[in-house]
Chains A and B, each alone.
Chain A
Amino acid sequence: MKKKLLSAIMSVAMAATLLVGCGGSTAPATETAAPATTETTEEKTETAAPATEDAGGKLIKVGIINNDPNESGYRTANDKDLKATFCEANGYDAQFAYSLKNDEQIAAAQKFVQDGVDYLLLSAADTAGWDSVLKDAQNEGIKVILFDRTIDADPSLYEASIVSDMAKEGETAVTWLAGQNLSEYNVIHIQGVMGSAAQKGRSGALDSKVAAEANWNIVTQQTAEWNADNAQQIVQSVIDAGTPFNVIYAENDDMAKGAVAALDKANISHGVGKDVIVMGFDCNKWALEELLAQNWNYDGQCNPFQSSYIDEIIKKLEAGESIPEKTIIMDEKGFDASTITQEDVDNYGI
C-alpha cells in the first residue's frame, strides 16, 4: 500500500513539473529547469509591485550577504550596524547570510534571487566570480548594492558600492610611515587573506613604495590570514633568524597584536620613540587603547558603519531618483599614537 501511494505521488509530481515546464517555456528566459522558470515569472510580478505598493507600508525585502560576524571586531560592528538599520521598524524585511567563503556567498545570493528580494546587499569575500549571479539578479529586477568590499564585475550590474577605499587606507598609512623620516625602513609585512580587497589595497600601497624607494626594504612578506597566532609565528621566525627590522606593517589589528606578542617575548621595544614601529588597521577599541598607551604607533581606520549610506540610497531608489555617483567612498582616518586622544578612542573604536 505504502509503496503504491508513494509511486502515485511521485508520478503526479513528475507530471506536474512537466506541465509547468511546458507552460513556463513561453517565458523569455533561456533556463530549461522547470522550477526556475516558474519562479522567474512569479518574481517578475512581485518585484514590479513594490514601487507602487511601497506607500501602502509594504516592507522592503532585502537580502544581506556578509562575512562571518565573528571574523573580527570590524565585522561584528558592521553586522550590528546593519541589523540596527534594516529592521522592521525602519520598513525593512531583512534576511542575512554569512560566510567567509566566496562560493557559499554566491550560493546564498542565488537563494536570495530565488526568494525574490527587492535589494541584494553584498559584502563579497572575494572579488572574483560574481558576474553570473549578479546578471541573474538584474534579470529579476533585483537591485544590488555593494558595501564594504568591491568586486571585479561590470559596474552596470550594481546600483552603488559603498566602500572603504582600501588603497587609500594603505596610502594614508604609508604616507604616515614615510613621514617618520627613518634613515632606513626594514618592514615586516603581515598580510591578510590573499586576494581580499583589504589585503590588495593595503599591500599595494606598501609594495609600490618599497619598489620606488631605495631605503625601504621588505624583511619578510607573509600572509597570516588575519590570524594573530600566525602573525606571531611569522615575526618569531624573523627574530629567530636575527634579521634586523624596525617596522611592523600588519594589515589588521589582530595580526599586529600577534606580532607584538612575539616582540615582547624577545624583549624588542615597540611603540612611540622605541625600536620598532607597529602599525595596524581597523581601529578596534583595544587597539586604539594600545595607541593611547604608546605601545603601538599607528592605526588606520576602516569604517564599518555603511548602513546609513545604504539606507539613503535605497530611499532614493524607491523614490525613483538616480544615484549620481556609483562608488561612494566613506570618510576614514588614520590615528597616530602621539596625537590620539581618549575622545578618539571612544568615538572611533569599534
Chain B
Amino acid sequence: MMQKNKFQISNIFRNQIFIPLAALILLALFNLIMDPSFFKITMGQNAAGNPVLSGYLITILDYGSELAILAIGMTLVTAASGGQDISVGAGIAITGSVILRMLCGRNSRPDELQMPIICAFLIAVLAGMLAGAFNGLLVSWFKIQPMVATLILFTAGRSIAAWINNNELPIVSEPSFGYYGNFIPGIPIPTPFFIAVAVMIVTALLLKFTNLGLYVQAVGINAKSSRLNGLNPTFIKFLTFVLLGVCVAVAGLIKVSRLSTINYSVVAKDIEMDAILAVALGGNSLSGGKFNMTASIIGAYVIQFLTTTLYKFNVKSTALPAYKAIVVILLVVFSAPVVREFISTKWKQLRSTDKIAKEVA
C-alpha cells in the first residue's frame, strides 16, 4: 500500500487511485487549455429566488452524485460476487415509482402529499432492498452468474415500475419534494452532492468499524477458503446486493426529485453501464476481490466530467457515444496492470539514468 513507501514516486503509478485521478487531471487540463471559462463558477438565483451556484463544475458535482452513490454499491457487489448488477437503472425506476406512489396515493396529481417524504423514502429503501435481495438470492444461493441473474430485473423492472403506479405518470406539485434533486433554499450547493457525501461517510464508517470490507474482499478473492475460515460467502454476497439496493433507492429519490415526476422507460437509462464503468475506471478488478472505494467514487465523477465536457463542446449528438467510447478505451487500457507496471518501470529507469547522469556530471 501507499502508506509504506510514501515517497517513492514510482509507486504512485502502481496505486489504484492513480488511474481515475490521472483521468480527472487530464480532462481538467484539456478543458483548461481549450476554454478556461469551464472552471468559472458564478453565484446566481433560481426561479424561487434562492441563491444557487452555477457553472460546469457544479453541474458535474450535481449530476455525478447519483452515479457516485451507485458506484459505491456496485463496487461492493463487484468485489464480493465477481460480477455486476445490470438492473440498477430498472431498480431506480422501481424505487422512484414507489416513492411517487406513496406520496401521491391513487391520485396521480395530488394537491397534498399522502405521507411525509421521509416515510415514502424509507418504503422505497425497503423496495430497493427487496429488489437487491431478489438479485442477491439468485446470485448467492442459486449460484447464477450475476449478470444473468440481474438480467431478470433489468428486463422486467421498468414494467414493474409502471405497474406500481398503474401506468400513470404522477406529478408532485409540492415544492419541498424538489429539494432532494435540486437545491435546499438558502444553500447554494446542489443537494445531490450532500446526499452523496452522506452516503460516502456512512460507507466509510461501515468499512472502518465493521469487517465488511475485509469479508467482502476475502469472499471475492476465494469464496471457498473464506468459508473454511468461518465466513459465510452466501450471506456476504447476498448482503452486498441488499446494500446496492439501498444505494439504488437513494439514487432513485434524487432522480424523481429532480423533475418531481418519472418516466418509467427512460429514467436512469443505461446508468448501470456508467456505474460499472466507474468501478472499472477506479482500477477495481471486475472479477472480484480487492477494491478501492475512493477510486470508484472518483471514477464516477470522472464519467460525469467527461459527459459534461462533451456537452460543452457541443459534440454532434449522433457522435457522442463514439467519443465516449474512445476515451473509455484509452482509460481502460491505461488502467490495465500490465501498462501500469510498464510505466512504473520506465519511470524507475528514467530516474536511475537521471541519477547516473548527475553523478557523472
Contacts and interface: CB of A to CB of B under 8 A. Distances in A.
B117 interface: no
Contact of A191 (B45, B259, B268, B317): B317
B59 interface: yes
B138 interface: no
B46 A264 contact: yes
A83 B63 CA distance: 39
Contacts of A258: 259
A49 B37 CA distance: 72
Interface residues of A, number: 40
Q: How large is the interface on B (under 10, 10 to 19, 20 to 34, 35 or more residues)?
A: 35 or more
Contacts of A225: 266, 269
Contact of B265 (A68, A239, A257): A68
Interface in A213-267: 220-223, 225-229, 232-234, 236-237, 239-242, 254, 257-258, 261, 263-267
A69 B155 CA distance: 14
B222 interface: no
B322 to A, nearest CB: 13
A236 B46 contact: no
Interface string A259-295: 0010111110100000000000000101000000000
Interface in B42-86: 44-49, 52, 54-56, 59, 63
Given A220-B314, A233-B311, A265-B46, A70 B258 contact: no
A290 to B, nearest CB: 10
B167 interface: yes
Interface string B329-340: 000000000000
B212 interface: no
A100 B265 contact: yes
A226 B37 CA distance: 30
B210 interface: no
Nearest to B162: A70
Nearest to A224: B317
B258 A261 contact: yes
Contacts of A73: 169
B45 A194 contact: no
Interface in A74-107: 76, 100
A233 B59 contact: yes
A69 B168 CA distance: 11
A39 B48 CA distance: 65
Contacts of A241: 37, 312
A221 B311 CA distance: 10
B318 A194 contact: yes
B58 to A, nearest CB: 8
A101 to B, nearest CB: 12
Given A68-B265, A72-B263, A223-B318, 4 more contacts: A69-B162, A241-B37, A242-B37, A286-B109
